[in-house]
Amino acid sequence: MNKNIMEYETVDLDDNDSSVVIIDQTKLPGTTEIIKLYTAQEIWDAIYLLKVRGAPAIGVAAAFGIYVLSKGIMKELQQAKDDCGKMDVLSFEEFYEKFKEQKEFLNSSRPTAVNLSWALNRMEAVCVKAGREEGKSVEEVVEILHQESIAIKEEDTWVCKTIGEFGLSLVKPGDGILTHCNAGQLATSKYGTATAPIYLGQERGYNFHVFADETRPLLQGARLTAYELHSSGVDVTLICDNMSAMVMKNGWVNAVFVGCDRVAANGDAANKIGTSVVAAVAKRYGVPFYVCAPTSTIDYNTPTGADIKIEQRPAAEVTEMWYRERMAPEGIKVFNPAFDVTDNELITAIVTEYGIARAPFKESLEEIRKKKEAVKE
């Protein structure tokens, strides 16, 4: 009997096999293929090629990935000593040098999603604290990295559910909701970010009517959001990206929930290309536009959206990837940014796990940071 897609772990760790386990999302919805990633190149490719995607899921994959690679570094160093007949204790600095190389390599796979660098920096911080500041052995450091990677995944599940609770407070039973791209369970550990209010509402009988944009260029709304919502029994209707104005003008949408890959300090938010169009349309028709953002995606070191690096994707994703035969003429120029930036003035609120931020966002996001730091203390 085939499992429902919602029964699979989006990202998992097989510690016995020293591998990161993911759903290959490039094959969905037609084929559910679980793959294992062992090497730095395999992990890098999986992130770059969107086999694993969604800011939180990328962060979890990166955390598991650098832990798996750390195990390999430790074994490699130990083997080198054994081959030389040395009985020395493994050097942390030697281990750390190779750790940093692998960390920087993984970090180069996706420039826009801040969770990638956030997770890798967090793993590096515990590595340095344990090995350099506390003088723990390399074996102990690797185990601490193991526990931290698991904590990152567990925290992501809590974050998503909490965002869902805050988001649910912004809508009422029977509402129409529009979402863009995929910020669902397939983009996180569980619940998703933008879909978390939808899933919690589904559990509580809210009977939402959801519109999912297909979302060019990778069709993640059609292939993933529509798929997982439908699999969960949610009343979902797939629409093309250029139909959002019609459904809003018809009064069928009461709120827009989207995820994001990076939020600037002023509240500008980068998300899958086309999000800013949805925000502008929502503004025109008086529909609240909510960005669901784990605090790990808020980049306080990026002043505005103009400072966010936007990833450019291959032209083939537009011209031929989804067609039996090439759709566009040979030699045509293609502009294919993966993301756009929604100006903060188009955003009604930013929903985080530590509360809801509203304009002026620079001040409200700073308050969110203070709440988070107070809880940590």
List residues bridging with 19 in a β-sheet: 14
Helical segments of 84-207, H only: 92-107, 114-128, 138-168, 196-203
Residues 310, 272 contacting (CB under 8 angstroms):
no
Distance CA 159, CA 155 (A): 6
From 12, 213, 241, 261, the catalytic residue: 261
Phi, psi angle pair for 20, to nearest 5°: -95, 130
β-sheet with 289-292: strand ranges across: 235-239, 209-213, 176-179, 255-258, 289-292, 349-352, 355-357
What's the chain's length in residues?
Answer: 377
HEC per residue, 51-89: CCCCHHHHHHHHHHHHHHHHHHHHHHHHHHHHHCCCCCC
Q: Are 248 and 180 in contact (CB under 8 A)?
A: no
- Residue 17 catalytic? no
Is the separation of the CB atoms in 265 and 300 below 8 Å?
yes
Residues 6+ apart with CB under 8 A from 4: 231
Q: How many CB atoms lie within 10 A of CB 356?
A: 17
Reported in sequence order, the residue ranges of 188-251 that DSSP labels E, i.e. its strands, are 209-213, 235-239
End-to-end CA distance of the chain: 47
Write the DSSP assignment of 265-306 as a string of letters. TTS-EEEETTHHHHHHHHHHTT--EEEE--GGGEETT--SGG
Tokens describing residue 338: 């993966």
Annotated catalytic residues are: 261
